[in-house]
């Protein structure tokens, strides 16, 4: 080996000094990389032989989904499910990006128009949180695609980082609790809730911006306005019956595994609510008051520096829309309708959100 190295270094004297130095640098870099990646495997083996480690229990495997009829190739084998998370060599990690794609350990499951996008954007400032930007809708619309497809949507994470996603419609999807529990019973769930009357008006405002010819909020609220019978089949109303939806989740997850974030406090005290979320996820409290400033035009807090940027960042123009004027008699009837459901929700969660 030494003779070969000497021959490699036997550069003609006539070679310019700069080229000679570059050649020497290249050879040293090559040797360093060779020794590093050789040691990555051999040193680990020596350490294992020298001090035998206690046996470790294998992590629980997510349940596999049956193949979708008429769509061969969608299914994945048990061996692939077991090997995929750990089958990443140091060299492939070096060239393909650091970390491993994992199924999420925490999911923001609701609610629509409650402040879920703001919460996710705020959380992404934390260095130990990696999240999918778009809503995967796996547990409500794409479940037949399988867990391998779902995992492939996730960002790569390093050891100690948390993988997250948010899809607000999960909270009102009957099948979602059982499906998430089947993936992992230890998944941490986050629900951002908001005054159900304000939430319903915000929901209607969003639809109105896309379909200007829809009926008025007042006409959609009632099955019969004369009798005052509320139309609970309208999704804008139904989503706000939080207690009813929560009962379904508690069949599969303990209440301590679900964090309820106040959409109102997320606006008035974002750092305080983010502190609770960071504690719930087992993260160091890094996101504090210094990360926010209040945007008077939009009427809610914005980030001084967003993830991967040195510039201030506010949510897009689809957030913070001006609500249409709603008949106050209708608003009051809705408050009366939601009151018993709100009281039950307060009892179930042990939190008074102050909506009445």
Catalytic positions, please? 113
Q: Report the distance separating Cα 217 and Cα 223, nearest Å.
A: 12
Q: Report the distance separating Cα 22 and Cα 18, nearest Å.
A: 6
User: Binding residue per annotation — 116?
Assistant: yes
Q: Report the distance separating Cα 258 and Cα 254, nearest Å.
A: 7
User: Binding residue per annotation — 321?
Assistant: yes
Burial label for 195, CB within 10 Å (0-12, 13-18, 19+), is: buried
CA neighbor of 180 nearest in space, from 248, 133, 236: 248
Please identify which residue in the block is written with the tokens 């249409």.
324
- Phi/psi of residue 166, nearest 5 degrees: -140, 130
User: Binding residue per annotation — 113?
Assistant: yes
Handedness of CA 206, 242, 179, 130 (dihedral sign): positive
Burial label for 208, CB within 10 Å (0-12, 13-18, 19+), is: middle
Length of the chain measured in residues: 356
CA atoms within 13 A on the CB side of 38: 6
DSSP structure class, residue 15? S
User: Binding residue per annotation — 114?
Assistant: yes
Beta bridge partners of 190: 108, 259
User: Binding residue per annotation — 202?
Assistant: yes
User: Binding residue per annotation — 323?
Assistant: yes
Q: Report the distance separating Cα 234 and Cα 196, nearest Å.
A: 13
Annotated binding site for 3'-phosphoadenylyl sulfate: 113-117, 194, 202, 319-323
Annotated binding site: 113-117, 194, 202, 319-323
């Amino acid at each position: 080996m030494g003779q070969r190295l000497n021959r490699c270094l036997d550069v003609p004297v006539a070679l310019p000094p700069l080229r000679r130095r570059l050649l020497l640098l290249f050879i040293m870099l090559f040797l360093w990389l060779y020794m590093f990646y050789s040691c990555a495997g051999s040193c680990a083996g020596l350490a294992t032989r020298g001090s035998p480690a206690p046996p470790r229990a294998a992590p629980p495997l997510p349940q596999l989904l049956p193949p979708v009829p008429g769509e061969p190739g969608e299914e994945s084998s048990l061996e692939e499910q077991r090997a995929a998370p750990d089958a990443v060599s140091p060299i492939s990690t070096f060239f393909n990006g650091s970390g491993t794609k994992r199924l999420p350990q925490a999911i923001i499951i609701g609610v629509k128009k409650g402040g879920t996008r703001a919460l996710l954007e705020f959380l992404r400032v934390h260095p130990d949180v990696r999240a999918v930007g778009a809503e995967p809708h796996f547990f409500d619309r794409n479940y037949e695609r399988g867990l391998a497809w779902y995992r492939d949507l996730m960002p790569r994470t390093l050891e100690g980082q948390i993988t997250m996603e948010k899809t607000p419609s999960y909270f009102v999807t009957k099948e979602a609790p059982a499906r998430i529990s089947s993936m992992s019973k230890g998944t941490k769930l986050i629900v951002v809730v908001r005054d159900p009357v304000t939430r319903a008006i915000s929901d209607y405002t969003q639809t109105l911006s896309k379909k200007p010819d829809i009926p008025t909020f007042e006409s959609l609220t009632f099955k019969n306005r004369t009798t005052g019978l509320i139309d609970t089949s309208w999704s804008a109303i139904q989503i706000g019956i939080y207690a009813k939806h929560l009962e379904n989740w508690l069949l599969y997850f303990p209440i301590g595994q679900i964090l309820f974030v106040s959409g109102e406090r997320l606006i008035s005290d974002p750092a305080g609510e983010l502190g609770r979320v960071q504690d719930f996820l087992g993260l160091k409290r890094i996101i504090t008051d210094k990360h926010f400033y209040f945007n008077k035009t939009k009427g809610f807090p914005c980030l001084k520096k967003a993830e991967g940027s040195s510039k201030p960042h506010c949510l897009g123009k689809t957030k913070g829309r001006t609500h249409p004027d709603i008949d106050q008699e209708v608003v009051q009837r809705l408050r009366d309708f939601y009151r018993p459901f709100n009281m039950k929700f307060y009892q179930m969660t042990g939190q008074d959100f102050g909506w009445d």
